[in-house]
Amino acid sequence: MATKTVDGAEDGTEVKNDDAKSDDAKHDDLKSDDLQSDETAVEVTEAEGPSGVGQGAAAVVSAVLGLVSLTGGWIGTVAAARETFIGQLRTASNAAVAKQIKEMYGDAWHTTALWAGLFALTALITGVAVLARPAFGAPGRPQAPWIKSVAWAGVSLGVIGLLLAVLKYSDALLALPTTS
């Protein structure tokens, strides 16, 4: 602590000045206050619970999978090309036209529909799981509105994609041409 001489004191006595703290002491006090507030902040953050990042990511994945089911994905394209190639190998050049169409194009079309249906079903299941998650999570913590919106988009795209895949696979939508 700092000391100073009192003016007018005849004997030159020194009086301790409690009001004047050194800079180091002030700095130490501030550091301890900061540490206490940081510890409090950590406790508050832990008490809040999960942030919902996983639910948000799952909702986005659901929406993207639903979109892939509608637009087609790389794996569906490769599987369809493989089926076309297998159809070419199985079909003799003198086979009937109906058999050639079925083997080379029909199986590839059904394979594309099958993969689209798998993507749609995965999007649907993921979206429903995200929407059902709050029922099994922290009761006082509501789900963020954007997570619900994106999950509903994934569910909607999954339902539409699944419906279209079933219609394509059953040849109710865009059936193969018939030969006469």
Q: Is 115 helix (H, G, I), strand (E, B) or coil?
A: helix
| Same domain as 128, residue 79 | yes
| Same domain as 152, residue 80 | yes
Cβ count near 11 (within 10 Å)? 5
Token readout for 82 is 């493989």
pLDDT value at residue 101: 85
Nearest to 112 by CA among 71, 79, 70: 79
Confirm whether 161 is domain-assigned: yes
Count of positions (residues) in the chain? 180
| Same domain as 134, residue 121 | yes
pLDDT value at residue 153: 97
Instruction: Please list the pLDDT of the chain residue by residue as tens digits (180 residues).
Output: 555 555 555 555 555 555 555 555 555 555 555 555 555 544 544 445 567 888 999 999 999 999 999 998 899 999 999 999 998 888 887 888 888 888 888 889 999 999 999 999 999 999 999 999 887 876 677 888 999 999 999 999 999 999 999 999 998 988 887 876
pLDDT value at residue 78: 94
Q: What pTM was computed for the model? A: 0.68
Our count of domains for the chain comes to 2
| Same domain as 96, residue 57 | yes
Q: Note down the domain range covering 21.
A: 3-48
Cα–Cα dist 11/9, whole Å: 6
Confirm whether 162 is domain-assigned: yes
Asked whether the beta carbons of 117 and 49 are under 8 A apart, the reply is: no
pLDDT value at residue 102: 84
Nearest to 176 by CA among 112, 123, 120, 110: 110
pLDDT value at residue 175: 82
pLDDT value at residue 61: 97
pLDDT value at residue 12: 57
